[in-house]
Amino acid sequence: MSDRTGDKDIALVVGAGTGLGSALVRCFANAGMNVAAALRAPDKLSALIGELSGRARSYACDATDEAAVRGLFESLAADLGPPTLVVYNASAFLKKSFLETTPEELERCWRVGCLGGFLVGQAAARIMAPKGAGTILFTGATASLRGGAGFLNMAVPKFGLRALAQSMAREFGSQGIHVAHVIIDGQIMSDARAELARERPPDGLLDPGAIAQNYLDLHRQHRSAWTQELDLRPWVEKF
């Protein structure tokens, strides 16, 4: 369990789109937290925000823009208070061969997948360090560990994000901030993959709600037994 008591937890999910992002927002709200959901186009979250009936609110933010990230944290502090849990879940991906990939495409994926994590992580740490408490979580992938053919635009940002999480954990762990990296090693269930799910064994795709529960558990870990990296995969996934 977390050492924090008293004040209500305030969670910020950056990259709160459909799938895992929405599942994180729903999970944290159902756990009794006040939740801020940040997305480039927050209108996409209107149904979810309505479903949660005042337990969550949405914010517009381009995570690759330093001023936008600073504005997000300022708005959150004014509306709900400083966050005690921050999740960076944003990513961009374009499957393409190495020779066909342009510098602009690689840079765009890196800016969303890695630079945004740096900006959000830095803003969160600046708030949490003086308090000596807080949790910062980063969403990784199979590509965080190995680069595959055609997956350059995912592997490069995800490798960098993993390094960022490791460096932050070593710098801020002794200051009371729990930094962890979660490797999602498999495909996440979504409406688009419903047909695929019928062709796989039960639980052959990762349930976004089950993933989100693991993020909540990380936040609630006692500081005497913190996890720095957690990998999640379906029971049938080969690795």
Q: Is the pLDDT of residue 230 over 50?
A: yes
Whether the per-residue pLDDT at 5 is higher than 60: the answer is: no
Residues 74-105: b if buried by 16+ CB within 10 A, e if exposed = ebbeeebebbbbbbbbbbbbbebeeeebeeee
pLDDT for 180 equals 98
Predicted local distance difference test score (pLDDT) of residue 2: 40
H-only helix segments in the chain: 20-30, 46-51, 66-79, 103-110, 116-128, 152-172, 194-198, 208-220
pLDDT at 200: 67
Distance CA 23, CA 15 (A): 11
Mean pLDDT of the chain: 92
**DSSP secondary structure of 127-192:** HHGGGT-EEEEEEEEGGGT---TTBHHHHHHHHHHHHHHHHHHHHHGGGTEEEEEEEE-SPBP-GG
How far from the centroid of its chain's Cα atoms is residue 45's Cα? 16
Q: Is the pLDDT of residue 127 over 60?
A: yes
In which band, very low, low, confident or very high, does the pLDDT at 108 lie, cut at 50, 70 and 90?
A: very high
- At residue 38, the pLDDT reads 96
| pLDDT for residue 104 is more than 60 | yes
Q: Which of 33, 62, 152 is nearest to 101 (CA)?
A: 152
Domain-wise residue ranges, the chain: 10-231
> Which of the four pLDDT bands, split at 50, 70 and 90, describes residue 198?
low
Which CATH number, 3.40.50.720, 3.40.50.300, 3.40.50.12780, 3.40.640.10, labels domain 10-231? 3.40.50.720
pTM: 0.93
Q: Which band of pLDDT confidence, cut at 50, 70 and 90, is reported for residue 83? A: very high
> Which range (31-35, 89-93, 172-176, 217-221) has the least confidence?
89-93
pLDDT band at 237 (very low <50, low <70, confident <90, very high): confident
Mean pLDDT, residues 153-162: 97
Instruction: Work out the average pLDDT over 191-204.
Output: 64
List, in order, residues 6 or more apart from 217 with CB less than 8 Å away: none
Letter string b/e over residues 174-210, b meaning 16 or more CB atoms within 10 A of that residue's CB: eeebbbbbbbbbbbbbeeeeeeeeeeeeeebbbebee
Percent of the chain with pLDDT over 90: 83
First to last CA, the chain: 30
User: pLDDT by residue (tens digit) across 45-54?
Assistant: 899 999 998 8
pLDDT score recorded for residue 40: 93
Inform me whether the pLDDT recorded for 7 exceeds 70.
no
